[in-house]
Structure 1
Amino acid sequence: MTHFDVIIIGAGAAGLMCAIQAGQRGRSVLVLEKSNKAGRKILISGGGRCNFTNLYTEPDCYLSHNPHFCKSALSRYTQWDFIGLVEKHGLSWTEKTLGQLFCDQKAGAIVDMLLAECREADVKVELNSEVDTITKHSNETTDDASQQFTIITQERVYTANSLVIASGGPSIPKMGATDFGLRVAKQFNLNTYPFTAALVPFTFPEKELELLFRELSGTAVDVILTVNNTSFKEAILFTHRGLSGPATLQISSYWRLGDSISVNLLPEHNAEDWLMDQQVEHPNAELKTLLARALPKRLAARLCELFIASKPMKQYTPNELQTIATQLSEWELKPHGTEGMRTAEVALGGVDCNELSSKTMESKKISHLYFIGESVDVTGHLGGYNFQWAWASGWCAGQYV
Structure 2
Amino acid sequence: MHYDTIILGAGAAGMMCAIHAGGRTLVLDHAKAPGEKIRISGGGRCNFTNLYAEPRNFISQNPHFCKSALSRYNQWDFIDLVARHGISYHEKSRGQLFCDISAKEIITMLIKEMDMAGAELRLRTKVHSVSRDGLLFKVEIESHGKRMQLQANNLVLATGGKSIPKMGATGLAYDLARQFGLNTTETRPALVPLTFSEGQFKHLTGTSLPVCATANGVTFEEALLFTHRGLSGPAMLQISSFWREGIDVAINLLPNADPLATLKSHKVNQGRKQLSSVLAQLLPSKLAEFLTQEWKISGTLADQPDTSLRGLSDRMSNWILRPTATEGYRTAEVTLGGISTDGLSSQTMEAKSCPGLYVIGEAIDVTGWLGGYNFQWAWSSGWAAGQAISRKKI
> What CA distance in whole angstroms lies between the structure 1 residues aligned with 2:31 and 2:329?
19
Alignment of 1:272-283 (within 5 A): 272-283=260-271
Residue of structure 1 aligned with 2:117, choices 103, 114, 121: 121
- Which residue does the alignment assign to 2:169? 177
- Which residue does the alignment assign to 2:69? 73
- Which residue does the alignment assign to 2:334? 346
Which deviations, in whole Å up to 9, do the C-alpha atoms of 1:356-391 show, x marking residues without a partner?
Answer: 000000001111100000000000000100000000
Aligned AA (1:111): I
Residue of structure 2 aligned with 1:306, choices 288, 294, 301: 294
Which deviations, in whole Å up to 9, do the C-alpha atoms of 1:125-170 show, x marking residues without a partner?
Answer: 00011111111121xxxxxxxx210111123211100100000001
Aligned AA (2:121): V
* C-alpha displacement of 1:271: 2.2
- Which residue does the alignment assign to 2:17? 18
> What CA distance in whole angstroms lies between the structure 2 residues aligned with 1:118 and 1:275?
61
- Which residue does the alignment assign to 1:197? 189
- Which residue does the alignment assign to 1:289? 277
* C-alpha displacement of 1:270: 2.3
Unaligned runs of 5+ in 1: 139-146
> What CA distance in whole angstroms lies between the structure 1 residues aligned with 2:263 and 2:100?
44
Aligned AA (1:89): H
* C-alpha displacement of 1:288: 1.9
Is 1:167 aligned with 2:167?
A: no
Which deviations, in whole Å up to 9, do the C-alpha atoms of 1:53-94 show, x marking residues without a partner?
Answer: 000101111100001101111111111110100010111101
Alignment of 1:354-369 (within 5 A): 354-369=342-357
Alignment of 1:1-400 (within 5 A): 2-23=1-22, 27-138=23-134, 147-154=135-142, 155-206=147-198, 209=199, 212-400=200-388
Which range moved further: 304-313 or 52-61? Answer: 304-313
1:130 is paired with a residue whose SS is strand
Counterpart contact for 1:197–1:341, Cα < 8 Å? yes
- Which residue does the alignment assign to 2:392? none
Aligned AA (2:10): A
Which deviations, in whole Å up to 9, do the C-alpha atoms of 1:67-126 show, x marking residues without a partner?
Answer: 110111111111111010001011110100111100112111100000010011110000
Unaligned runs of 5+ in 2: 390-394
> What CA distance in whole angstroms lies between the structure 2 residues aligned with 1:388 and 1:175?
21
Which deviations, in whole Å up to 9, do the C-alpha atoms of 1:304-328 show, x marking residues without a partner?
Answer: 1121413211111111111111111
> What CA distance in whole angstroms lies between the structure 1 residues aligned with 2:262 and 2:65?
44
> What CA distance in whole angstroms lies between the structure 2 residues aligned with 1:327 and 1:194?
35
> What CA distance in whole angstroms lies between the structure 1 residues aligned with 2:119 and 2:363?
22
1:240 is paired with a residue whose SS is coil
Aligned AA (1:92): S
Which deviations, in whole Å up to 9, do the C-alpha atoms of 1:285-314 show, x marking residues without a partner?
Answer: 222222222211111111011214132111
> What CA distance in whole angstroms lies between the structure 1 residues aligned with 2:281 and 2:78?
43
Counterpart contact for 1:308–1:324, Cα < 8 Å? no
> What CA distance in whole angstroms lies between the structure 2 residues aligned with 1:151 and 1:66?
31
> What CA distance in whole angstroms lies between the structure 1 residues aligned with 2:269 and 2:53?
44
Percent sequence identity over aligned pairs:
51
Counterpart contact for 1:203–1:336, Cα < 8 Å? yes
> What CA distance in whole angstroms lies between the structure 1 residues aligned with 2:298 and 2:236?
28
May I ask how many residue pairs the two structures share in their alignment?
Answer: 385
Calculate the aligned-residue CA RMSD, in Å. Answer: 0.9
> What CA distance in whole angstroms lies between the structure 1 residues aligned with 2:290 and 2:101?
42
Counterpart contact for 1:167–1:181, Cα < 8 Å? yes
> What CA distance in whole angstroms lies between the structure 1 residues aligned with 2:126 and 2:331?
24
1:150 is paired with a residue whose SS is strand
